[in-house]
Structure 1
Amino acid sequence: MPAQRRHRLTPDERRTQFLALGVNFLADHPLDDLTIEELARQAGVSRTLVFHYFESKQGMHRAVVTMARDSMIHATAPRPELPPRKRIDDTLLRFVGFVREHRGTFSSLVHGIASGDPTVRAVVDESRELNASHLRDAFAELGVPVTRALEISLRGWVAFAEEVLVTTAADDRAEESEIVAFLSRTLDGVVTAARNSIL
């Protein structure tokens, strides 16, 4: 019986394989531990091949963090068919569920902001800006004036919410509904403070 031929991956398939392995690695390890050598070992290929796709450790980190970020954004995108208040709470609930399911990856993604590479930090910052803009749009629909104070407050709250999610993801005593309620109350407090601010 002839030996089965191995499927040769196309360049796009190979790159996707590397990125998926990189994202999976983040589930149990910090971003800085992901090296070209480690990714080559996991893929069963040479270091040279991995280097061909990413050119540097920083380039690899940037690509892996981008894929992890895009997966999170896709999983937690607001549902436009919902009214604004329900849309906010629904998004928070799905965020909590995502972090519970991918706690290690989310922690690595959030802490990627501490990376020495400004382009990696920019990838994480982009997700924060996007989340803040979703909140801004929802509150604008509720009649909240979009001011400089609101913009600043929402960006700060997103960073606060990330830390809450990282901390509570490992604590199974906290119910998802309780976390959502806490985040929702703090969000309302921040918005109220912004409305009363002269910033």
Structure 2
Amino acid sequence: MQADRRTRLNPEQRRAQLVSIGVASLADHPLESLTMEYLSAEAGVSRGLLFHYFVSKKGLHREVVRTARDSMLRATKPSADLPPDDRLRDTLERIVRFVRDHRGTFYSLVRGVASGDTEVRDVVDQARALQAQRVIDVLLELGFTDSDLLRIAMRSWVAFVEEILVESALNTEMPSAEIVAILERSAKAIAASIAPPD
């Protein structure tokens, strides 16, 4: 839906509006199809204004991906008041819910690493690193030993999780509880497999 051209917004509000329209477009279109022309038509503003705010299509993509990433991280933030096992399960449940509620956004995020823009890839990688750290924190509370290998394994687990979510949460009607159980078991199994012997 096109924005009202007569609406007066200050620069910060206008920029936020434009980014919001860009994020909303991810529900139905891949990131690559988000062009200055499309956003100009959707927002009812000139292309010149878009270049003023974002400089280039790549700049627009970075801001849209950054905003989408932050939205996902807020929606999946662990509940600090829960014990470790429950916190991990709760976080995974909210991740699956986010993926199913924001299919296009999630798909664009996990495929953002394929972008030719290193800054877009960095934005996505930051999200992956934070999600891995959240799981590492739980595993350490559960008694697993911290190590470089554990950290490498959990970063790799995040990539595995993304594929599981694309293939199950996006492409099947598999019950969310079943997906959560697979993800929870796999994280603990990987951690256990690299734990030093007693």
| 1:99-126: CA deviation from partner (whole Å, max 9, x where unpaired) | 0000111001110011000000000000
Q: Distance in 2 between matches of 1:18 and 1:98?
A: 22
Output aligned runs, 1:75-90, within 5 Å: 75-90=75-90
CA contact (8 A) 1:149 1:195 kept: no
Give matches, 1:1-199, under 5 Å.
6-196=6-196
For residue 8 of structure 2, give the secondary structure of its aligned residue in structure 1.
coil
The runs of at least 4 consecutive aligned structure 1 residues that moved more than 6 Å come to none
Kept in 2, the 8 Å contact 1:76–1:91? The answer is yes
Which whole-Å CA distance do the structure 1 matches of 2:58 and 2:7 have between them?
A: 30
| Alignment RMSD | 1.4
Structure 1 residue 133: Cα displacement? 0.7
Please say which of residues 58-67 and 172-181 is displaced more in the overlay.
Answer: 172-181
The separation in 1 between residues aligned to 2:160 and 2:132, in whole angstroms, is 12
Shift of 1:15: 0.6
Shift of 1:28: 1.1
Shift of 1:182: 0.9
Q: Distance in 2 between matches of 1:7 and 1:105?
A: 27
Distance in 2, Cα, partners of 1:12 & 1:83: 40
For the residue of structure 2 that corresponds to 1:195, the secondary structure is: coil
C-alpha separation in 1, matches of 2:141 and 2:170? 34
Q: Figure out how many residues of one structure are paired with residues of the other and give that number.
A: 193
| Percent sequence identity over aligned pairs | 52
Query: CA–CA distance in 1 between the matches of 2:110 and 2:92?
Result: 16
Preserved contact between residue 169 and residue 176 of structure 2 (Cα < 8 Å): no
Shift of 1:26: 0.8
CA distance in 2 between counterparts of 1:162 and 1:96 reads 10
Shift of the alpha carbon at 1:195?
1.2
TM-score by length of 1: 0.93
Structure 1 residue 196: Cα displacement: 4.6
Gaps of 5+ in 1: 1-5
Q: Distance in 1 between matches of 2:152 and 2:159?
A: 11
